[in-house]
Amino acid sequence: MVPTNYYLILSAILFGLGTVAFVFKRNIITIFMAIELMLNAVNLAFVAFSQSLGKPDGEVFVLFVIVVAAAEAAVGLGIIILTARTRRSLNVERVDLLKL
Amino acid sequence: MPILDYLWIIPLLPLLGSALNGLFGKNWPNKVVNTVALGSTGLSFVLAIEAVREFFANGQQPFRREFVEWIVAGTFHAGFNLELDQLSVVMLLVVTGVGFLIHIYSTGYMAHEGGYYRFFSYLNLFMFFMLILVLAANFVLLFVGWEGVGLCSYLLVGFYFLRKSAADAGKKAFIVNRIGDFGFMLGMFLLFRTFHSLDFSAVFTQMATLPPEEMGQFGVLTIAALLLFVGATGKSAQIPLYVWLPDAMEGPTPVSALIHAATMVTAGVYVVARSHLLYTHAPSAMYVVAVVGCATAFFAATIGLVQSDIKKVLAYSTVSQLGYMFLGCGVGAFSAGIFHLMTHAFFKALLFLSAGSVIHAVGGEQDMWKMGGLASKIKVTFWCMLFGTIAIAGFPPFAAFFSKDAILFAAYNSEAGGKTLYAVGLLAAVLTSFYVFRLIWLTFFTEPRYDEHHVHVHESPKNMTVPLMILAFLSLTGGWFALPALFGGKDYFTDFLAPVLGSVEAAGTEGSASLEHTLSLVAVAAATAGLLVAWRMYTKGAKQGPSTGLHKVLYHKYYIDELYQAVVVSPLVWVSTNVLWKVIDVGFIDGIVNGVGTVSRAIGDTVRQTQSGNTRSYAVWVLVGAIVVFAIIFWPILHPALFGEVRP
Amino acid sequence: MSDFLTQYAYLIIPIIKVLILVVIVLTVDAYLTWIERKLIAHIQARWGPHRVGPHGLLQPLADGLKFIFKEDPLPSHVDKVTYFLAPFLALMLALTSLGVIPFGPQRFKVFGYETGIAIADVNISLLVLFAITALAVYGVALAGWASNSKYSLLGGLRSSAQMISYELALTLSVVGVLLLAGTFSLRDIIEHQDNGNLGLLGWNIFGFSKDGAGFTQVIGFLCFYIAAIAETNRIPFDLAEAESELVAGFHTEYASMKFAMFFIAEYTSMITISCLATILFFGGWLSPFPASWTFTYYVPSVVLIPLGLWVIFDGLRYETLLGRVVLPGVGTVLAVIGVALIVFPPVNDAIQGVFWFLAKVFTFLFIYVWMRGTLPRFRYDQLMSFGWKFLLPVSIANVVLTSAVVLWRMH
Amino acid sequence: MTGALVIFFALAALAVLGAISLIVQRHPIHSALSLIVVMVALAGLYLLMGAEFVAAVQIIVYGGAIMVLFIFVIMLLNAGEEERTNFSRLATFAGVPLALAVTGLIGAGIARSSASLPAPEPGGVLTSTRTLSTLLFSEFVYPFELTSFLILVAILGAIVLAQREN
């Protein structure tokens, strides 16, 4: 049997790595992926808790999180495409003006 | 429907007319404006008559009702409550009646002026506020009307606002009135603090139980009475605040007639009479009122002697007549004061309107030295004006004879220097009859002094002359209520007002009829004397001589305006320029405002640095926030770790 | 020895099964290419391969040799990792997806380890299958991107968009079946369709059932099959490798074994899809005849013996050694098996399920090829609008309809 | 060291390595692939915990839809290697340490708080699809409907964003 807090610590590590990527990377798409990574870490924690506490609610939350992530990806990638069209660059450090 | 239950309609109608004319009248033809203005005023006049009829039908029961709740703050309560008792009845009829007549007159007089709709809008507004003033059942509502008529007076005096003198006169009237109103407000506050209410009924019922304060000792009531009187002097142009009224003649003549002779300026008298209980409980204040009134009567009359502007003469005579009223009130003859108020409303309105007609005839000329010999040319005006003159001079059986006589009689009988007051009043009567007849002679007799080539004299149209005639009739008959008194009968007017003004008359009415007869004879003799002197001086075409000595002083109104200029105005201007503006406004207030601007800009400049637009640095800021949040959340879990104790 | 086996049976047996399955599948793939070429050739009135061995039967071997020995050029400026990863990914996923498919009803014990004719028999096998097919897109997309060529890139883009679009329809079209069966396990789904004497009427495609809670899944099946063809990038949805437009689409830059991997992956996924269609809609291993018709147990023999005899005589017409020896040999084997089935009833019973299963699967594979021979290719915008505006709504409608009927039937 | 632990550590290592590679890879496609690895590993962990449905959904939606979308966009925009600009000094110097601090905080908090939790039971009816769906349609039905609206809005938004205005 794997103790629950193994999972939790793993999710913490993944979340931290996600934050690192979030501040470290410069490519918009990659930063977006970092956010997805953090979401996944949270999902892991959810599932671990729900399994160890014997409540399925956590997994329902995970489903919701996944749905939200999907919607977010749709809109976010649309925005990214638009940005890339107008700014001709995917580097967030080059996209620092509200209007052109 | 019993109109009394809908008393609020009476003041509301003029407001409606004013709103209609003011908002839409700009593009309306004069006919429509007339219809609206006259319709509203006339209708309210009719309703007023109906209301009075019902009042009598109810056996003269004072009618009092709160129609709308207005201000409720803690113990303070002021409603929109109206009151109809004998006093208000008199005022109501005078205001609506004379006001209606003057409206009719104005349609002729203002026919060729610009801003026709504006004029009538203001005039109706004035009617509204005046009716509020006379119908109000508490000091607060009364004050609303009080201020409102002040506003309308300002607007109408400055009606020709393109003329600087007119604008200045308007401002002067307004500012001088502010001083009085300040006193009035203080008086109200004092009353509220004493009686915890401002309803007439409440205040006066409480007051009736109090003992009168000692002569010469100044208690709350005295001070309140004096403060109210200050307001009265402002509104009713008594010494020392009379200076605005002569300048107010800059306004159109109907305005002078309505506001500055018949109605508004008598508001002070009305207030004093309304709160007569207060004054009877403060004898010293009452004495002050008498003295001030008497002094004003004489003082203004002397100035009136030498003025050359026809309206100025009438203005000063108004001041002096108001003085008479206050004298009457001051000596306790409140009903006499009100009586004179009514008659004065008639004949002074008549005089002003006739003067307006004269000015109309000679094409806007107001200087009496440029008139003369008009009697034959404008007969109707002449006769009406003559009626008014005789009335004001106080010849029987004209109105002023009775009213002025009653006042002087009361003054004679009043204790504490009554004789002196009487003497001065009598002298003022002589002067009065002198300057009015001087006016008559200079205007209507002697050879013409205007050039016939340019000015072609013509009689005024019907809608101006008809009101003149009506007023002439009134100023003839207006005083006959008191006619029986002469023959030992009873004075109906006084009796009528007795329920309101109470048995105070006792002071005045006692004393035998014989004395009264003598006094009236003396008065008539005084009037005749004035008449003769005027005839003697002006009957054979007098020249406008070089003014010297006393004449010069009088002609310049004792240099009072200059005095005020030097003592009050210029110091004020100096202070506001050098202290309020240069120091406080520029240095202090602008300093604060600019300081706020500078500080916020500085803050913005520093904080702006974080808004680099660089997503990654934003991300770092998010991280910082996250760290704080996590630290707070996990603190209870983590802090045992600092002591190495592991929780189960 | 034996106790060692019993101890590690849970490791060894699956490995063995995987090996067997891979061998079979690879062979089937190889001969699938032969079948395809033959059929299309005949559809187009050609001979097709007939030089290598009788009826070109050895063509697949030749192709395999060619694939192995051909030079493997590496285009310049390719992203190496991805370029090599893509074909492996494709093949791996394709083969893995077969792992959860049950080919037969039997369950038996080996060294005390119970197992069945399936590598893994998990209770959410359908979900697993979808998960794996969902990942299948990466092979194509990455190949297209990695090989640094505009044709490949276009092919990759097209296939990724196409697969996302049609996966929705694919998944939704199955929901009807799930509603009827009430489980994710493929085995349970098949058994749910076993309605004894109803025979083929009990399959989901017809939707009769003993408890009367069934409902025909024709719409679902059509949606599923169209979407499935699109998922496998087959004509008429093969825009990822449209020869006439993009030389060879995503695998333009691939040669020899890596190209072969893509090929094998494609055919394997065809097999998977056919199995899936069989299981979900056509009753898997169930015989189309009522259970009471026991004589239908001889159908395999009735098929095999004539086939074997025909193969023998056909082989004897050849002059070549291969023709004279091999074909008769194969024919004899088939015939003997057929006879053996008659002789040994237990064996016959055992192979019934597998026989029907394979029969159905091969029918679907035949339909695949048939379509390729007949249908033209869609234009790209037609593909998209068809997927989003027609297929998806219809499959959703099917879900709503089915659930409504099921509810109504239950009450 | 039971088999479960072995599998756990294998998958955990895979996930962590994938996450790290997401950071160090310079080409977005490679980062995406690393992320897919992480997700698959997580799915494996879910299976290990017995959350089979979530595992399947994780792979189908995340791996099969979302990440495909990412790769599709990367290919569409033909994104090249990430350029190493350093316009934000803050992010360069403070960013990574702060991120590690966050990790430390959460890790410590969890480590100290969740030691007493019982270990998850693999499999079982607890999280069977039936239970989840019953819960989803009974207790969480309003959030569920809301998510459908959310998706609708997202679709519209994506269309509006991506279409060229002409």
Interface of D with C in 105-134 (CB under 8 A): 129
Q: How many residue pairs from chains A and B have C-beta atoms closer than 8 A?
A: 23
- Strands (E) in B306-440, as ranges, are none
pLDDT digits (tens, 9 = 90+) for B385-409: 999 999 998 888 888 888 888 888 8
Whether residue B619 and residue A95 make contact (CB cut-off 8 A), yes or no, is no
pLDDT digits (tens, 9 = 90+) for C63-73: 888 888 888 88
Which pLDDT score is estimated for C197?
76
Q: What's the CA angle centered on B411, arms B410 and B415, to 5 degrees?
A: 100
Closest CB to D59: pick one of C123, C131, C144.
C131
Q: Chain D within 8 Å of B566 (Cβ-Cβ)?
A: no
Whose CA is closest to B336, among B504, B514, B95? B504
Whether residue A98 and residue B614 make contact (CB cut-off 8 A), yes or no, is no
The two beta strands, C113-116 and C107-110, are antiparallel
Domain housing A77: 4-94
Q: Looking at A19-28, B337-346, B633-642, which range is the least confident one?
A: B633-642
Q: Chain C within 8 Å of D69 (Cβ-Cβ)?
A: yes
Distance between CA atoms of A82 and B239, rounded to whole angstroms? Answer: 83
- Write out chain B residues lying below 8 Å of D91, CB-based: 614, 616-617, 619-620
Average pLDDT on B120-136 reads 93
- B242 is written with which tokens? 């009379």
Closest CB to D52: pick one of C85, C124, C167.
C124
Distance between CA atoms of B474 and D106, rounded to whole angstroms? Answer: 101
Distance between CA atoms of B572 and B570, rounded to whole angstroms? Answer: 5
Q: Within a 13 Å sphere around the CA of B25, how many CA atoms are in the beta-carbon half?
A: 25
Which pLDDT score is estimated for B615?
79
Closest CB to D64: pick one of C134, C157, C161.
C134
Whether residue C160 and residue D52 make contact (CB cut-off 8 A), yes or no, is no
Q: Chain C within 8 Å of D72 (Cβ-Cβ)?
A: yes
- Write out chain B residues lying below 8 Å of D106, CB-based: 630, 634
Following DSSP, what letter does each residue of C269-328 receive, concatenated?
Answer: HHHHHHHHHHHHHS-TT--SS-TT-GGGGGHHHHHHHHHHHHHHHHHHT--SHHHHHHHH
Same domain, D70 and D134: no
Which pLDDT score is estimated for D123?
54
D88 occurs within a structural domain: no
Whether residue C160 and residue D72 make contact (CB cut-off 8 A), yes or no, is yes
pLDDT digits (tens, 9 = 90+) for C220-252: 899 999 998 888 888 788 777 766 677 777 777
Find the residue in A nearest to B611 (Cα).
A96
Give the end-to-end CA distance of chain D in Å, rounded to a whole number.
Answer: 64
Interface of C with D in 58-97 (CB under 8 A): 79, 81-82, 85
Interface of D with B in 132-161 (CB under 8 A): none
Chains D and A touch (3+ CB pairs under 8 A): yes
D70 occurs within a structural domain: yes
Q: Looking at A36-45, B210-219, B367-376, C296-305, which range is the least confident one?
A: B210-219
C280 or C118, higher pLDDT = C280
Whether residue D22 and residue A4 make contact (CB cut-off 8 A), yes or no, is no
Find the residue in A nearest to D160 (Cα).
A78
Domain housing D144: 128-166
Distance between CA atoms of B446 and B464, rounded to whole angstroms? Answer: 25
D110 occurs within a structural domain: no
Whether residue C128 and residue D56 make contact (CB cut-off 8 A), yes or no, is yes
Which pLDDT score is estimated for D127?
61
The DSSP secondary-structure symbol of B577 reads I
- Confidence band, pLDDT 50/70/90 cuts, at residue B642: low
Residues whose CB falls within 8 Å of the CB of residue B566, separated by 6 or more in sequence, listed in order:
none
- Confidence band, pLDDT 50/70/90 cuts, at residue B506: very low
D3 occurs within a structural domain: yes
Distance between CA atoms of B218 and D55, rounded to whole angstroms? Answer: 98
Average pLDDT on C393-399 reads 91
Q: Reply yes or no on whether the pLDDT at B640 is more than 80.
A: no
Distance from CA of B634 to the nearest CA of D (A): 6
Whether residue D68 and residue C163 make contact (CB cut-off 8 A), yes or no, is yes
pLDDT digits (tens, 9 = 90+) for B272-318: 999 888 888 888 888 899 999 999 999 999 988 888 888 999 999 99
Average pLDDT on C101-105 reads 84
Whether residue B638 and residue D112 make contact (CB cut-off 8 A), yes or no, is yes
φ/ψ region of B396 (left if φ > 0, alpha if ψ in -120 to 50, else beta) reads: beta
For chain C, the chains sharing at least 3 beta-carbon pairs closer than 8 angstroms are D
Find the residue in D nearest to B613 (Cα).
D88
Q: Within a 13 Å sphere around the CA of C16, how many CA atoms are in the beta-carbon half?
A: 11
Which pLDDT score is estimated for B508?
44
- A41 is written with which tokens? 């870490």
Whose CA is closest to A78, among D154, C138, C153? D154
Is the N-terminal amide bond of C236 cis, ω within 30° of 0?
yes
Q: For the complex shown, is ipTM > 0.90? A: no
Distance between CA atoms of C220 and C177, rounded to whole angstroms? Answer: 8
- A10 is written with which tokens? 């793993």
pLDDT digits (tens, 9 = 90+) for B586-636: 888 888 999 999 999 999 998 888 777 777 788 888 888 988 988 888 777
D7 occurs within a structural domain: yes
Average pLDDT on A61-74 reads 90
Cα B361–chain centre separation: 29
Q: Looking at B110-114, D69-73, D85-89, D133-137, which range is the least confident one?
A: D85-89
- Confidence band, pLDDT 50/70/90 cuts, at residue B504: very low
3-state secondary structure of B83: strand
pTM greater than 0.80? no
How many domains does chain A divide into? 1
Q: Reply yes or no on whether the pLDDT at B270 is more than 70.
A: yes
Q: Chain C within 8 Å of D7 (Cβ-Cβ)?
A: no
Whether the Cβ atoms of residue C271 and residue C25 lie closer than 8 Å to each other: yes
A99 occurs within a structural domain: no
Q: Chain D within 8 Å of B638 (Cβ-Cβ)?
A: yes
Chains C and D touch (3+ CB pairs under 8 A): yes
Find the residue in C nearest to D39 (Cα).
C135
| Average of per-residue pLDDT values in chain C | 84
| Average of per-residue pLDDT values in chain B | 86
- Confidence band, pLDDT 50/70/90 cuts, at residue D1: low
Q: Which residues of A84-100 are buried (b: 16+ CB within 10 A; e: fewer)?
A: beebebbbbbebbeeee
Whose CA is closest to B130, among B118, B116, B147, B155? B147
Q: Within a 13 Å sphere around the CA of C356, how many CA atoms are in the beta-carbon half?
A: 25
Distance between CA atoms of A18 and D23, rounded to whole angstroms? Answer: 8
Whether the Cβ atoms of residue B203 and residue B197 lie closer than 8 Å to each other: yes
Distance from CA of D125 to the nearest CA of B (A): 30
Which pLDDT score is estimated for B214?
67
- Write out chain B residues lying below 8 Å of A23, CB-based: 616, 619-620, 623
pLDDT digits (tens, 9 = 90+) for C116-138: 777 877 788 888 888 888 888 88
For chain D, the chains sharing at least 3 beta-carbon pairs closer than 8 angstroms are A, B, C
Whether the Cβ atoms of residue D126 and residue A54 lie closer than 8 Å to each other: yes
- C285 is written with which tokens? 């291993």
pLDDT digits (tens, 9 = 90+) for C159-174: 888 888 888 888 889 9
CATH number at residue D6: 1.20.120.1200
- Write out chain D residues lying below 8 Å of B630, CB-based: 102, 105-106, 109
Same domain, D133 and D65: no
Whether residue A23 and residue B620 make contact (CB cut-off 8 A), yes or no, is yes
Whether residue C128 and residue D27 make contact (CB cut-off 8 A), yes or no, is no
Distance from CA of D113 to the nearest CA of B (A): 7
Whose CA is closest to B243, among B158, B183, B173, B188? B173
Q: Reply yes or no on whether the pLDDT at C153 is more than 80.
A: yes
A69 occurs within a structural domain: yes
Whether the Cβ atoms of residue C71 and residue C256 lie closer than 8 Å to each other: yes
A100 occurs within a structural domain: no
How many domains does chain D divide into? 2
Q: Reply yes or no on whether the pLDDT at B641 is more than 60.
A: no
Which pLDDT score is estimated for B502?
67
Q: Reply yes or no on whether the pLDDT at B507 is more than 50.
A: no
Distance between CA atoms of B549 and B181, rounded to whole angstroms? Answer: 37
D24 occurs within a structural domain: yes
Q: Chain B within 8 Å of D112 (Cβ-Cβ)?
A: yes
Task: Please state, in angstroms and as integers, the Cα–Cα distance from residue C327 to each residue in C29, C322, D107, following that order.
Answer: 20, 7, 70
